[in-house]
Amino acid sequence: MPQTAPPPRDRLLDTARRLFYTEGIHAVPVDRLVTEAGVTRATFYRHFPAKENLVEAYLRATDSDLRVAVGAALDTGGPQESAAALLELIGQTTCSAGFRGCHFINASAEYPDPTDPVRVAVADHRAWFQDTVTRLAERAGHPDPDYAGRVLVLLHDGALSAAELDDPQQVRETVIRAGRELLGLGS
């Protein structure tokens, strides 16, 4: 039985996810997206009225995937086990093959206007992550969960940036150790 190709919208989104992450959003023209996705320009614009709509969809899809991964890490047991699993997930991300930094930080650098829908998608993701780690710190019994949540976000952001510049394994070890110490999980 012949394998059917994914729908055009999915092919465009998959192509955008790969190219935007590896090469940068503004570096990839619509013509290249259309060619590599195997669709026409008319099909592109039927699904995404402008390139920025595809960029926003790419970020929303990435956010959705990350919510699933973080949710799985947080479902590993009690607060301490969940915190350890989340820190391990962050650490593993920095050591993954083809790692090119944070999708959201990268997009933010290319879209400086905070009212742009792309930046709104970035802000939505960051607000969710901030809330998630703050609630985790509270469940783990941290005396100041708001502070701990902010520090965890900084550790996360720093790890995702440093892993491109420094030894990813060392970054992984550092973010896990610092997070464990912050949450009183031991090193």
> Do both 132 and 71 map to the same domain?
yes
Range of the domain at 41: 1-49
Q: Which region among 101-105, 141-145, 182-186 has the lowest average model confidence (pLDDT)?
A: 182-186
Indicate which CATH number applies to the domain containing 29: 1.10.10.60
Residue 37 burial (CB count, 10 A): 21
Q: What is the pLDDT of residue 95?
A: 82
Q: Which pLDDT band holds residue 96 (cuts at 50, 70, 90)?
A: confident
- Burial class of 175 by CB neighbour count within 10 A (0 to 12, 13 to 18, 19+): buried
Q: Which residue has the tokens 């701990």?
A: 148
In a domain, 100, yes or no: yes
pLDDT at 187 over 70: no
pLDDT at 94 over 90: no
Q: Which pLDDT band holds residue 1 (cuts at 50, 70, 90)?
A: low
In a domain, 141, yes or no: yes
Residue 162 burial (CB count, 10 A): 17
pLDDT digits (tens, 9 = 90+) for 15-26: 999 999 999 999
pLDDT at 2 over 80: no
> Do both 40 and 58 map to the same domain?
no
> Do both 31 and 120 map to the same domain?
no
In a domain, 187, yes or no: no
Residue 34: phi, psi to the nearest 5? -60, -50
Beta strands in 8-162 (DSSP E): none
- What integer best gives the mean pLDDT of the chain? 94
Q: Which residue has the tokens 């939505």?
A: 124
Distance separating alpha carbons of residues 148 and 131, to the nearest angstrom: 11
Mean pLDDT computed over 122-139: 97
In a domain, 31, yes or no: yes
Distances (CA, A) of 91 to 1, 35, 46, 53, 175: 41, 35, 39, 31, 7
Residue 172 burial (CB count, 10 A): 20
SS3 101: coil
pLDDT digits (tens, 9 = 90+) for 37-84: 999 999 999 999 999 999 999 999 999 999 999 999 999 888 889 999
Domain count, the chain: 2
> Do both 65 and 9 map to the same domain?
no
> Do both 60 and 143 map to the same domain?
yes
Residue 137 burial (CB count, 10 A): 26
